[in-house]
Structures are given as C-alpha cells and as structure tokens.
Structure 1
Amino acid sequence: MSPTIDPVQTSTTLPPATTVVIIGAGIIGLTAALALAERKIPVVVIEKGRIAGEQSSRNLGWVRKTSRHADDIPLALAADRLWAQMPERVGADVGYRQAGIMFIARNEAQMNMHQNWLKSVEHLSLDTRLLSNREISELVPGGQANWAGGIFTPSDARAEPTLASSAIAKAAMAKGAIIIEHCAVRTLLTSAGRVSGVMTERGEIRCEQMLLAGGLWSRKFLGNLGVNLPTLPLTCSVLRTKPVDGPTDIAVGAPDFSFRKHQDGGFIITQRGKLDAFLTLDHLLLGRRYLPQLKAQRDFLKISFGKYFFNDLTLARRWQADSVSPFEKVRVQDPPANHGLNDDALRNLRAAWPVFEQAQIADAWAGTIDVTPDSNPVIGPLSSIPGLTLATGFSGHGFGTSPAAGQLAADLVSGETPIIDPAPYRFERLA
C-alpha cells in the first residue's frame, strides 16, 4: 500500500486558458507551481491521478548533498536554504529537520569511494567530514559492527514526503494556482510551431508555456511526440516501523540498509544494497545507454522478467489527442513492496544496532524511480518544441532538491534569472 498523504481539496473545473500548464502534481510540479503563483503568474497543474501519488510520497525523505555529483550540489545547496524557509513559506510543518546524514562503510573499498567523492567536491566547501569507527559509535551509540569508517554531513536533513507535497499544494492554491486531479493530459497542442495548449481527457486548455514534470511517465508523453527521453524504471521498497527508541536523529546509510527518524517516532528503513529492476521493453531499447551503470552496479540491481514486461506492452506508445492515453489506464503506479528486501534490511540493521530488535513494522510500500543514464535530472527547455520545458528524470533525488528544482523550472519558464546555472541539466546532454 502507498503512504497516506494529507488530503487536499483540489479544483474540479478545467479552465479554458492559463499562462502555464504543469503536467504532474508530484513534488517538482508543485514546487514549480508555488514559485509561479508567488510571482502572480497564472498556472494550472494537471495530474492524471492524485497529488504526490507516486514517488513523491514514497521516497525516503532525505535532503542531502552527500554523494551527489559535484555539478548537482549547487542545486542541493539552494534546496537546503529553501527547505529551511518552507514551513514559514507554506504556513505548515513539512517535517523538515536538519539532523545530518551519515554513510558508513564495511570495508576499505567502500571507504575509498567516500574519500574519492569528498575529494571531488572539496572546492565546494561543504561541512562534510570523514569518520572513524569510534566517531560513528559516538554519534550513533549502541552499535555492534566494526565499521571501516564513514562520511558525515551535519547540514544534511530530512523532511516528510506525506506532509510536504500537501502543504506546498495548499500554499500554491492559496496564492492562485489551480490544481486538478484525476485528469490526464493526453498531448500538447501547437500553433505556429510552438506550444499553444494541451489536450486533456476533459478537453482543451490553452496556455503559453508547458512544464512537463511527469516523473516516470515523461518518457511515454515525449515518445508520443517523437522525442526520445532516455529513462528507465527502478523500484525501491520501504518500510516504516512503529515508534521505537532509536540510537540517533541522524539518517544513516550502510551498504545494505538505511534508516532515518520518522515524525511519529518510528523509522523509515530500506535495503540500500538492492533495487528491483523489473524488465520492460524500454530496458531492451535503451540498455546500451546504461551499460556503465550496469557494470558498476550489477550486484545492486535485482533484475527480473515477468508481468511488468507484459503489462507495459499493453500500454500504447503512440496515440491521438482524441484517444485514451496510457495515463488514463494507469492513474497511479503502485508496485507491491518486496517484503524479502525489507526483511533483509531490517535483519541487517538489527545486527548492527540491536536496539532495533524491538522495532515492529507499521507499514510497507514501494515506489518506482525514473533513472537517466547519468543519474542527473533534465531541467530545461526542449529546443525542438518551443514553449515546452522539462523537469523530470530525477533518478531518486527529486524530493531532496525539489524546492530548488521547482524554482529553477519556474525561472526558466517565466524568463527569470535562474536560481543556479541550469547547464548540467540540459536535455541535449542525453541526446
């Protein structure tokens, strides 16, 4: 089952026209809508299912700079500042807590990866530092493992996915944005060579700009327009425990588990060493683009062939504006949790910190991540279709950077000075 999202009362009426249409009411589309509404720019967010119904409510809630690509860290730094301002900005608690994030290593090879990453970002003056096993024990007491070392960024943080999207949506609507759920956008409309509107299952809405923030569905939407966005789906399983006295407020990532404190006193736990890779036709079409990742992470992926392949084949790859789209056939991607992976994560965690022997599972779920070949998102205009801007392909990093990523998208759509240099996120790098 999926996490329970704070309910939001959205609009049921599709307006005839607006300035900007955003496709997708995940965390990126909502933060972009908030930024546009704050600038008094008319914006309509259209969502095929429900607000934050997919990965935006199913992620771990980590807000981190640690282990990001160096060219992705300016966005993460901007997100730090904006997350800290978010409670005041939206008038609600979004669960933001700056307690730090730590990654720990079982062997020297894993520790070398952390050391090499830290060296690659030393010019960015982060507050990250390397840790010895003794320092890990001081920060996270009660452990039984003998770690090779770790890496710790005190300014990293967390927020609550089930709170944040709802609070941001409500604030955006209070400032003039319109959000419509259970309404699929089938395709865009053009006039004189540029975007002039979108066709939804309920009819047409005219606009001057369109922002595609459709997560894992963006590839299908663009494919229908003849645009090849290389993304592949991976599925992460997660569990939440009932309240338990844990060892720390710091979020901790080990090679084969991770945990972080939840707002209710429980912990969010996952198996960091495994993701499900349910094969689809896209894996066959794009596989060569991902060979470097596959070679580096073969043990990380649990590849399987089965119903997902055939279910995907039933979804059209091309359709007309007046025909039913794949987005109407699958309103919410809701994969079942892999309880075997979750159990393995909890078992590994209990061996390292026995206090979790007392932890009882309250809930479990899974979410599907859209991954690009370089694991960085696409945020920027699509030159072949003037008026269309992309904010997608976040590769599991979208929630943490969302306030800055949404604002960057809003900057590009509205012609404002970008919050950070958007060059690392150009679509053309993936061509």
Structure 2
Amino acid sequence: MAPTILPVQTDSSFPAQTTVVVIGGGIVGLTAALVLAERGIPVVLLEKGRVAGEQSSRNLGWIRKMGRSAPDVPMAQAADRLWATMSERVGIDVGYRQAGIMYLARTEAEMEMHRQWMKTVECLKLDSQMLSAREIDDRVPGGQGTWAGGIYTASDGRAEPTLASSAIARAAIAKGALIVENCAVRTLVRSAGRVTGVATEKGEIRCDQVLLAGGLWSRKFLANLGVDLPTLPLICSVIRTAPMEGPTEIAVGGPDFSFRKRLDGGYTITQRGALGAPLMLDHLLIGMRYLHMLRGQRQLLRISLGSDFMKDISLPRRWGAKSRSPFERVRVMDPPANQDINAEAMRNLTAAWPLFNKAVIEEVWAGMMDITPDSLPVLGPVAGIPGLTLATGFSGHGFGTGPAAGQLAADLVTASSTPLLDPAPYRLERFS
C-alpha cells in the first residue's frame, strides 16, 4: 500500500529533443528539473511510473543535520536554507516546520556515540546539544522511559513527503519543464562515446545532457552500461495515525521507535531499530563491501530470503534500446509493510509515551531505500560517458537533502562555475 500523494497533471506529449533529460521523478530529479526550468534551460523529466511514487513519498519527512557524517553536513545545511522558502517557491504549504529533532539514548554507550559525533562536526558550528534525562522530560513530557540522555538539534525539522515532491513537480511544470510519466528510459543514445539522447519505450529523445536520478533503479540502469554503482536495498515500514494530541512538535527518535507530528495532525511512527533486508542477487555480488556496516547491526536488519529474490533474478540484467527493460516490468516498487516491525514500533513507543495508546492507525506502508557502502549519495559525472551525470544513492537521506541535492545536480549538469557546494565527497570514483 502506498500513501496518497498530491496529484500532478503531467504531459502526454513526447518531445523529439531537449537540452537536458532527467531520468527519475523523485524529489532530487524534480528539484533539478525545477532549477533548470527556473534558469530557462529546456528540460524533460521522464518517470517510468508516477511522480514521487516510490521513496520520495514514503519516507519519514525528517530534515536533519544531526547524525550525518561530517562531509554530508554542508549539503544538509544548504537544504535547510532551501526548505525554509520552499512553500513560497512552489505555492503551497509543504509542511516544513523547523521544530527540532531529538535522539534518545538508553545506555551510556549510546550517549558516547552521540558525543563522538559531536566531536566530528565541532568545526561546523551546529546547534546540536546533549540532553539529560530531565531535559528530555521537559521537552517531551509524559514519558515513562528511562533514558541515559539524548541529543537535540533545534534547527532540524520536517516536511510532508506526500505534498512536497508533487508540489515541486507542479512548480517545475509551471516554469516550463516537461514531465512525462509511465515512460521508462531503457538506455542512453551515444555518438563517438558522448551522450546524444535517450532511448525510451516510446522512442528516442535527443539531448545534450542526461541526469540519472533513478534512486533504487540507478544500479540496474548503470550496470547495463557497464558502470558499477554499489547500492543495496533496505525497507522501512511506516505507520500513519489519525489526528491526535501528542507530547511535542519535536521529531523524536528512540533506539527502537520514532515519531513525528504531521501537518494533518496525526503522527508518522516507525520502529527505528529495524529495517527489512530482503536478500537479492546483488547481495551476493557486492555484499562484502557492506560488512563494516553490519558490525553491531544484526538486530537492525531483518534479513529474509523469499519471493523478492525470485522476482529480482527474473528481471533482465542486460537489454538493448529495443528490448523491454526492468523499468517497464516494475513501474513502482511497492513493498508490503512488515506487520511485525510495525507492531514492535507501537509497543516500544507506547511503553515510552503511554499517550500513544490512544493512537488510531489509519494507514501503513513501506518504502525501499538504496544504500551505498558509506551512506553518502553519488553526485557527479561518469568517467567515460561524457554527458551523463548522477544524482542517486541517497541512502534514506534524499528527502531531507533533496532541494540542495537537486540544485547541485543542476549545477553539475550545466557545468556551473559556482556550484551550490563542493561535490567532491560524492564522486562515484570513491568506490573504485
């Protein structure tokens, strides 16, 4: 089941040419298209399914700097500035509220992890602060948990995934971008090695530049071109409650639950300590690159081997411009919510804040994230394929940093001499 998103009236026409083709209708690709359209650059965005149909509408809506690795914090800081004006920019309230995010720690070891993170970002002058158990109670009253302490960043915030990406798409269309849904890009068209267009299920579009913002699907697209992008899937299961009175406007992440207030008055809730990890062929091919991430994370990952594996290996791994691609066989990745994980989330949350015993669950869903070995995205050109730029592998952070990532991607596509920020930490070559 997928959450209901703000509808977008896309285009049914099929252009013969443009300047930039964006592959993928998630928040990063949509923002890049908006930026390009605002700059007067012809752009066509092609989405194999529907705009924001996958992780861009299924995530938790957190917009945070806290807990990010130091190289990624400047992107999050830039995103904060862009989120602050997003509602005005796109013409509707996308739910952005700078209400703060808090992480809780049950043990001294967990507190030490937060202290170590604070040291790594000390030079970045963030407003993050360590909290005592009493300070947690003051900010989030009514709790029954026994906490060693926590960490809190008042300048972090939230927005609504079911509104924001669609609103960005509408704004891009209003500025002149062409967005076509249900149109899978099969591969690139090249001349003398350089990109000159894209081959889609509906025909070719000539262009000067291509931006691949395909999220989970980027690995398959690039592998067909002989390019290795290491990403593996993880699934987050989510609960939406009916409107209710809650303990705080702050988004709170405990070791095994999280909750945050929604624009509609309800709460988005997850089991923060558990993610689904369905085994697929890629785990056998590149899983060794992720061993360092598994240390101490055995309870976090709920590994399973079942129908996901069979569905994955049934998809072609090589195809041509005239062949039906995996992107036409699976238009929208729609994993089922894990009922056991969601039940754990509610048990853990109500034990810590009994007020949530009154919560009425109105909807559940799941989303599949694409995780890189260092949890940083890939933004930049592809060596050996002039004209192709990547903006993918956001590892569950794409919504929060989406406005900045999309703008940086637009800067890179147009070879801007003054990009939004230094893209060096995000180069694909770091995995070589």
Task: Give the TM-score, by structure 1 length.
Answer: 0.99
Q: In the alignment, is residue 430 of structure 1 matched against residue 431 of structure 2?
A: yes
Pairs within 5 Å for 1:335-414: 335-414=335-414
Q: Does 1:265 align with 2:251?
A: no
1:176-215 correspondence runs (5 A): 176-215=176-215
Measure, in 2, the Cα distance between the counterparts of 1:172 and 1:373.
32
Question: Could you say which residue in structure 1 is the equivalent of 2:85?
Answer: 85
For 1:381, the aligned partner's letter is: P
Counterpart code for 2:427:
R
Number of corresponding residues: 431
Deviation at 1:142, TM superposition (A): 0.4
How does 1:19-418 map onto structure 2 within 5 Å? 19-416=19-416, 417-418=418-419
In the aligned structure 2, how far is the partner of 1:415 from the partner of 1:157? 31
Distance in structure 2 (CA, Å) of the matches to 1:342 and 1:334: 17
Question: Which residue identity is paired with 1:5?
Answer: I
Name the amino acid aligned to 1:82: L
Any idea what SS the aligned residue of 2:85 has? helix
Structure 1 segments (4+ residues) deviating >4 Å? none
Return the alpha-carbon distance in structure 2 between the equivalents of residues 355 and 298 of structure 1: 30
Matched letter for residue 216 of structure 2:
L
Is structure 2 residue 9 aligned with structure 1 residue 16?
Answer: no
SS of the residue aligned with 1:196?
A: strand
Once the two structures are TM-superposed, the CA of residue 430 in structure 1 deviates from its matched residue by 1.2
CA distance in 2, matches of 1:430, 1:271: 31
Query: Following the alignment from structure 1 to structure 2, what is the Cα–Cα distance between the partners of residues 14 and 391?
Result: 24
TM superposition shift of 1:91: 1.2
The TM-score with structure 2 as length reference comes to 0.99
- Structure 1 segments unaligned to the other structure (5+ residues): none
| Deviations 1:144-191 (CA, angstroms, capped at 9, x unpaired) | 111000000000010000100111001001001000000100000101
1:211-236 Cα offsets, whole Å, 9 max, x none, are 00000000000000011100000011
The 1-side partners of 2:288 and 2:233 are apart by 15
Deviations 1:47-85 (A, max 9, x none): 000000000000000000000000000000000000001
The sequence identity of aligned pairs, in percent, is 69
Q: Residue type matched to 2:326 in 1?
A: P
Could you say what secondary structure the match of 2:425 adopts? Answer: helix
Aligned CA-pair RMSD? 0.6
What is the CA distance between 1:296 and its match in structure 2?
Answer: 3.6
Residue 339 of structure 1 deviates from its aligned partner by 1.1
What displacement does 1:34 show? 0.6
Q: Helix, strand or coil for the counterpart of 1:188?
A: strand
Cα deviation digits, residues 289-333 of structure 1 (max 9, x gap): 001011242221011111100100100000011010000000000
Distance 2:424 2:134 in 1: 41
Q: Distance in 2 between matches of 1:13 and 1:401?
A: 31
Separation of aligned partners in 2, 1:411 and 1:22: 13
What amino acid does structure 1 have at the position aligned with 2:48?
A: K
- Alignment-mate amino acid for residue 52 of structure 1: A
Q: Tell me, in whole angstroms, the C-alpha distance in 2 between the residues paired with 1:74 and 1:407.
A: 13
CA–CA distance in 2 between the matches of 1:226 and 1:45? 23
CA distance in 2, matches of 1:149, 1:370: 31
Give, in whole Å, the separation in 1 of the partners of 2:319 and 2:167.
35
SS of the residue corresponding to residue 298 of structure 2 reads helix
